């Protein structure tokens, strides 16, 4: 019988597995590829996604999903655009479990966040969201981090907070999973905007403006969708916005930086903000919320306008109160 399994052996799933195992939990890390799992078993690290970070002894890797799903608690660490398909395809294995979703984004097809995807597909599962400022490498290196664990039920959240806190991950609890997941999803789009601005040489004052006004539009949409305003000011909103918009360790910020400076893009890197920007632009239009920065990011990514044209449009908007 497994204790906690992590489904998806990318950088984040692997980092969480390492930190939890170091803190004494018995962890199973599932990857879909037999080859990747054999390599992890032989080398005792994830050379592909998190090289140089050694696996503790009590971390096992498997490609047998049914075996991994004998654990009562499953952390879902596949990218956002894969989440709905993964849950649908493996419904019978995961539908009665406690599921902790670790991905940050909005589904492009349905414009839903992870919570709605999971609740719609797996109505009998207990659902929680884990989000907040934390780079996988920092977690795996044992550096201090603080994240938010959110769910609808106090007892579930309390149990998971105690179980998933580790020596270097301090978990705060929340009963606002929607606010937590939207903070994590929306900040990626603003991070792309900041990368674009810095890459195109628009300067750090422009970045500060994008972060602040980006935060305002994150709040507008999240509140309209029913989130608690205080949640957006917490780790999963403001906290992750600051981290992601200011560090080249962020793939979203770096993606913008590369586009802005004309550098080559690696299409195999997971950049959640790209699909999420498109999904959020549609979602916000549908609910009548103005998100000018997200709209500009979408138009730049689609090649409809240049970065300098986007800057002009944003500066020329009607003047208003802050």
Ligand X SMILES: NC(=O)C1=CN([C@@H]2O[C@H](COP(=O)(O)OP(=O)(O)OC[C@H]3O[C@@H](n4cnc5c(N)ncnc54)[C@H](O)[C@@H]3O)[C@@H](O)[C@H]2O)C=CC1
Ligand Y SMILES: O=C(CO)COP(=O)(O)O
Name the residues annotated as catalytic.
187
Distance CA 134, CA 109 (A): 27
Binding span for ligand Y by CB under 6 A among 27-35, 114-122, 130-138, 285-293: 130-138
Smallest distance from ligand Y to CB 269, Å: 9
With CB under 5 to 8 Å by kind, the binding choice for 133 among ligand Y, ligand X, none is ligand Y
Q: Indicate which single residue of 2, 22, 49, 97 sits in contact with ligand X (rule: CB under 6 A).
A: 49
Q: What is the DSSP string of 48-74?
A: TTBTT-PPPTTEEEES-HHHHTTSSEE
Stretch that binds ligand X, among 102-110, 207-215, 277-285, 310-318 (CB under 6 A): 102-110
**For residues 263 and 273, what is the distance between their CA atoms, to the nearest angstrom?**
18
Q: Which of 2, 5, 6, 11 forms a contact with ligand X (CB under 6 A)?
A: 11
Question: How many Å apart are CA 20 and CA 164, to the nearest integer?
Answer: 7
Based on CB atoms, which residue is closest to ligand X, 181 or 206? 181
CB of 298 to ligand Y, least distance (A): 17
Phi, psi of 108 (to 5 degrees): -65, -40
Q: Residue 122, Cα to own-chain centre: how many angstroms?
A: 20
Q: SS3 for 114? A: helix
Would you count residue 182 as binding ligand Y (CB under 6 A)?
A: no
Report if residue 12 touches ligand X, rule: CB under 6 A: yes
Query: How many residues sit close enough to ligand Y to count as binding (CB under 6 A)?
Result: 13
Rounded Cα–Cα distance for residues 157 and 146 (Å): 16
Binding partner of residue 13 among ligand Y, ligand X, none, CB under 5 to 8 Å per kind? ligand X
Q: What are phi and psi of 264, to 5 degrees?
A: -75, 140
* 270 near ligand X, judged by CB under 6 A: yes
Residue 244: contacted member of ligand Y, ligand X, none (CB under 5 to 8 Å, by partner type): ligand Y
* Binding-residue pattern over the window 15 to 34 for ligand X, x denoting contact by CB under 6 A: -----------------x--
Is 240 assigned a ligand-binding role in the annotation?
yes
Q: Which residues of 31-45 are buried (b: 16+ CB within 10 A; e: fewer)?
A: beeeebbebbeeeeb
91 labelled ligand-binding: no
Length of the chain in residues, anyone? 322
Interaction partner, residue 215 (ligand Y, ligand X, none; CB < 5-8 Å by kind) = none
What are the CA-CA distances from residue 167 to residues 4, 35, 171, 225 (Å)? 17, 31, 11, 35
Number of residues that bind ligand X (CB under 6 A): 23
200/18 Cα distance (integer angstroms): 37
CB 41 → ligand Y: shortest distance, Å? 27
Dihedral sign for Cα 282, 219, 102, 118, please: negative
Q: Which does 247 bind (CB under 5 to 8 A by kind): ligand X, ligand Y, none?
A: none
Strands (E), 34-86: 59-62, 73-76
| Binding to ligand X, residues 127-166 (CB under 6 A) | 134-136
Rounded distance between C-alpha atoms, residue 14 and residue 267, angstroms: 21
Cβ-based nearer residue to ligand X, 59 or 80: 80
Residues that bind ligand X (CB under 6 A): 8-13, 32, 49, 77-80, 82, 86, 102-105, 134-136, 270, 272
């Amino acid at each position: 019988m497994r204790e906690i399994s992590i489904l998806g052996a990318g950088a984040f799933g692997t980092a969480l597995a390492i930190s939890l195992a170091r803190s004494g939990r018995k962890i199973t890390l599932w990857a879909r590829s037999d080859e990747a799992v054999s390599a992890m078993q032989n080398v005792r690290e994830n050379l592909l996604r998190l090289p140089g970070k050694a696996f503790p002894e009590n971390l096992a890797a498997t490609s047998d999903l049914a075996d991994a799903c004998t654990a009562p608690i499953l952390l879902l660490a596949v990218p956002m655009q894969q989440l709905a398909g993964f849950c649908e395809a493996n419904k019978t294995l995961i539908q009665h479990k406690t599921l902790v979703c670790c991905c940050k984004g909005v589904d492009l097809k349905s414009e839903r966040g992870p919570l709605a995807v999971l609740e719609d597909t797996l109505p009998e599962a207990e659902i929680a969201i884990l989000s907040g400022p934390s780079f996988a490498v920092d977690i795996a290196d044992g550096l201090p981090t603080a994240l938010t664990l959110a769910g609808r039920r106090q007892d579930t959240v309390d149990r998971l907070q105690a179980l998933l806190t580790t020596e270097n991950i301090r978990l705060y609890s929340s009963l606002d999973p929607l606010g937590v997941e939207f903070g994590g999803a929306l900040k990626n789009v603003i991070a792309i905007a900041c990368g674009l601005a810095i890459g195109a040489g628009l300067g750090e004052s422009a970045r500060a403006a994008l972060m602040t006004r980006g935060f305002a539009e994150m709040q507008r949409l999240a509140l309209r969708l029913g989130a608690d305003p205080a949640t957006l000011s917490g780790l999963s909103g403001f906290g992750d916005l600051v981290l992601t918009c200011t560090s080249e360790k962020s793939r979203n910020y770096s993606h913008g930086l590369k586009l802005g400076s004309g550098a080559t893009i690696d299409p195999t890197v997971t950049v959640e903000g790209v699909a999420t920007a498109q999904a959020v632009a549609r979602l916000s239009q549908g609910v009548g919320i103005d998100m000018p920065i997200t709209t500009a990011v979408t138009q730049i990514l689609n090649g409809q306008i240049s970065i300098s044209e986007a800057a002009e449009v944003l500066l020329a908007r009607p003047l208003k109160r802050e």
